[in-house]
Chain A
Amino acid sequence: MTEPLPAREAPADPALRRAALLFAATLAAVAAGPFVLDAYTVNILIRALLYAVVALTVDVLWGYTGILTFGQSAFFGIGAYAAGLAFTHLGFSPGVAVLALVGGIAAAGLVGALVGWLAFGYGVTPIYVSVITLVLPIVVTQLLFSGGTFTGSSSGLSGFDTLDISIEAWFWLAGGACATLTFLAWIALRSDAGRLLVAIRENEGRCQYLGIDTARLKIGLMALSAAVAAVAGYLYAGFTDVIAPELAGFVFGTQIVIWVALGGRGTLIGPVVGAVVIEVVSAYLSGELPYVWNLVIGAVFVLVIVAAPGGAAAMVRRLWIWTGRGRARAGPGPAIEVVPAAGGGPLPDEALALEDVSRRFGSLAVLQGVSFRVRPGELLSLVGPNGAGKTTLMRCIADGTERSGGGVRIGGHAVGRGPPAECVAYGLGRKFQTANVFDGLTVAESLRVARARRETPSLWRRSATLRLPAAAARVVAATGLDERLADEVVHLSHGLKQALELAMVLALEPRVVLLDEPTAGLTKPERTLIGTILTDLVASERLCVVLVEHDLDFVRQISSRIIVLHQGRVALDGSVAEVVGSELVRSIYAGEPQALAEA
């Protein structure tokens, strides 16, 4: 892949410069800390900063990716016990220290991946991950309790030999680690790859239909955040010289979520500040008022969740804007660069084939024995009265797990029982009936997410250009989306959202495009525009388009072939003229106010 011209990067990124300055200032503050703070505060801060690292991982998982986890404490505990157990039973030496660190990271990463594998299977409910992360700390804690003298059971272990560095050095280590990780996470999350996580949070189904293996991404993220939490736990045990089951427990796990919520989820800095401030303040106050303190934290937490889900960070931002110091920063969008088509060799003779596809819900058969083949360059419309099974058929083509029987081939590849991402890999693109987009991303970001399958996004950089294939670029230009590339999708009109989704699907460079009522809710000129674009694409790029549409005028104008579905079966398959003149169609549509033949 060609890198964009360096000149495009040159206009320095002001946000990046501000963040780098803040990072440098924080490092300076960390360096000066031990000299201006008393020993007690330094002690408290070291622990708080390590907690903040765990809070950071929870924010990445929950705030950015939408995975609510109660179990991050378990990974913290695994890291802590790796250190404590190794130092207690093997004695301390640099070799053992490294071994314990590697062991802790590996164990946490593996458990994290296992949790991810359990939680992110296709079709598993999204709430399951919260369930399994709830179970995890309970199981880990119970194992620690049952470990007898090996784990120290409920009393934990303490007084083992540990890394003998001064308290100042610990402070620098914890502060440096926390600040660096926060900065790195910030860079990664605003990068093109980082936007994928937000896309998953906003609309995971759309991601899967853009060919992104969200399960693998989430499993990887789970393992990575588990490993980071384990490192924090390892340092915690090394510093405090103590390990205890509560470090891995459910209560600590929920406490982290509270810090993140109060600090402001999805902001990185909010949760880090939240964890540190709450921990430090509680160290000063909780001794005086233990019950009242928990009561206050609990009440504030409920209040924030109900009334201010953005937490403190959102309030600060609002205040910032209110005082007139914040300004809208939706500058000009990136320049669009048209990429040449990937060109996957000669086109096969068959773009899409269905053989005897059926779908049953219990005893109800919605589709039965549906078979047809579509060639490249055909624009096929599926029509039929309500309940004929049109949308179900689209689902069965685009998602291997949906059909009850029969087979589907896309571009010559047999689709097994694979999830949508597999169908997309064979060259399929699907546009849904109602605009299915990412409300929280900008237009440009959405289109980049759609390109992620073709061009691996950078983990640390935001590209300055938007690379799109000609077809997608044409939709963007023709609908005026190119003027709004930097706008958040949530602000777009209904018609523009539809156009954006179409552009996203075309950005995949698909060979087969499924469109479910692409013109629903559009104005007449918009409809005409979409129709022109579609027929052009079919003609110029030999795209295969399968369309479900109620607007029969539109169908007649653009189709090269029509299939009539009736009661889950193919009733008629032919050219526009053949179908329109058919007696059968007339009888099927009898009673429908807008019958096909009369349209």
Chain B
Amino acid sequence: MTAQILDVLTTAAMLFIVCLGLQIVYGVMRIINFAHAAFLTIGGYSALVAAQLGLNPWLALPFAGLVGLVLGALVERLIVRPLYARPLDAILATWGLGIVIGQLVTIGFGREVQFVPSPVQGTVEVAGATYSLYRLLLVLGAGLLGLAVAALLSGTRFGLVTRAVIMNESLAEGLGINSGLVRFACFSVGAGLASLAGAAITPLSSVDPNMGVPWLVGAFMLVMVSGASLRSLALATLLLGGAQVLISAYASPVLGGLTIVVLAAVILRLRPKGLALD
């Protein structure tokens, strides 16, 4: 029982971390960044490079975030910027970009599965259950990241202008806010967070050119369901991630694998706003 509760919590935490970058981009720009999977992959390989450079495994996380941030900035300038008025085309262009990044990673690092040392090993006892320490740390990490992003959005001037752009872009522009700059910053931060997430899941996953892809559709659905709100995202990952764990446990893991996408599709049909709280 304890183990199952922990399964739900840690799964939700992992999903939350993976979705965060995608949600920031979607929330501000109403653009679905299909290159999200590629940025997760970039994060995994950043962790690999960090390990090869002999960096402390904990330092791999900020390193990956930085790499993602820089690449994201580049991508925004070159590819995403011309597509703000064409959201469907933005989906396609970022999808194509994902293909390109995947192939470049393959050419650069080879297709084989690589390994990155985990910053922590082993298990701990929690209320009678033996549980993976790293997974528990992920819950903490998700909480901290969520709080940090929330603080960034509500406590800083950057957050203020960003929220203004989310609510009413033309009004915000009328007030002298440079919405192009806000979008640029948001896309870069989103890509950085995606890359950070990619590094954060490496201890539980392999590092290979397609490592991000299995996460993409689930993350995409979770973000669609939660709209632009962080609290909704937390709720959605907890509800749908929890459903995935329980269905995997009591029905079959194969059905569990479809849980998030199918549930999200149904929720969006019944309630186009999804789980958005406001």
Contacts and interface: CB of A to CB of B under 8 A. Distances in A.
Interface of A: 68, 118, 121, 123-125, 127-128, 130-132, 134-135, 138-139, 142, 145-146, 250, 254, 257-258, 261, 291-292, 294-295, 297-299, 301-302, 305-307, 309
B92 A261 contact: yes
A68 B96 contact: no
Q: Is the interface of A mostly helix, strand, loop or mixed?
A: helix
B258 interface: yes
Interface stretch (B2-10, B103-111, B174-182, B192-200): B103-111
Contacts of B217: 134-135, 138, 250
14 contacts: A127-B32, A130-B88, A131-B265, A132-B265, A135-B261, A142-B254, A250-B217, A254-B95, A258-B96, A261-B92, A295-B107, A298-B103, A302-B100, A305-B93
Contact of A138 (B86, B93, B107, B261): B261
A131 B262 CA distance: 11
B3 to A, nearest CB: 26
Contacts of B91: 68, 130
Contacts of A134: 217, 220
Interface residues of B, number: 33
Contact of B99 (A123, A128, A131, A298): A298
B210 to A, nearest CB: 11
Contacts of B100: 295, 298-299, 302
Contacts of B268: 124-125, 128, 131
A195 to B, nearest CB: 21
Contacts of A128: 268-269, 272
A123 B265 CA distance: 15
A291 B269 contact: no
Contacts of A307: 82
A124 B272 CA distance: 6
Given A131-B224, A134-B220, A306 B83 contact: yes
A118 B265 CA distance: 9
Contacts of A261: 92
Interface of B: 32, 79, 82-83, 86-89, 91-93, 95-97, 99-100, 103-104, 106-107, 217, 220-221, 224, 254, 257-258, 261-262, 265, 268-269, 272
Nearest to A62: B88
Contacts of A123: 272
B103 A302 contact: no
Contact of B103 (A135, A145, A291): A291
B96 A302 contact: yes
A103 to B, nearest CB: 24
Contact of B265 (A135, A142, A305): A135
A124 B89 contact: no
B89 A309 contact: yes
A170 to B, nearest CB: 31
Given A127-B87, A138-B217, A292-B103, 20 more contacts: A68-B92, A124-B269, A124-B272, A127-B88, A128-B272, A130-B88, A131-B221, A134-B217, A135-B261, A139-B261, A145-B254, A254-B95, A261-B92, A294-B99, A297-B99, A302-B96, A302-B97, A305-B93, A306-B79, A306-B93
Contact of B258 (A142, A291, A299): A142
B240 to A, nearest CB: 13
Given A68-B91, A309-B86, A135 B272 contact: no
A261 B95 CA distance: 13
Contacts of B92: 68, 257, 261, 301, 305
Contacts of B79: 302, 306
Given A131-B224, A302-B96, A146 B254 contact: yes
Contacts of B95: 254
Contacts of A118: 265, 269
A291 B106 contact: yes
Contacts of A145: 254
Contacts of A131: 220-221, 224, 265, 268
Contacts of B93: 302, 305-306
A348 B7 CA distance: 67
Interface centre among A131, A257, A295, A307 (most CB of B within 10 A): A131
Contacts of A301: 92, 96, 99
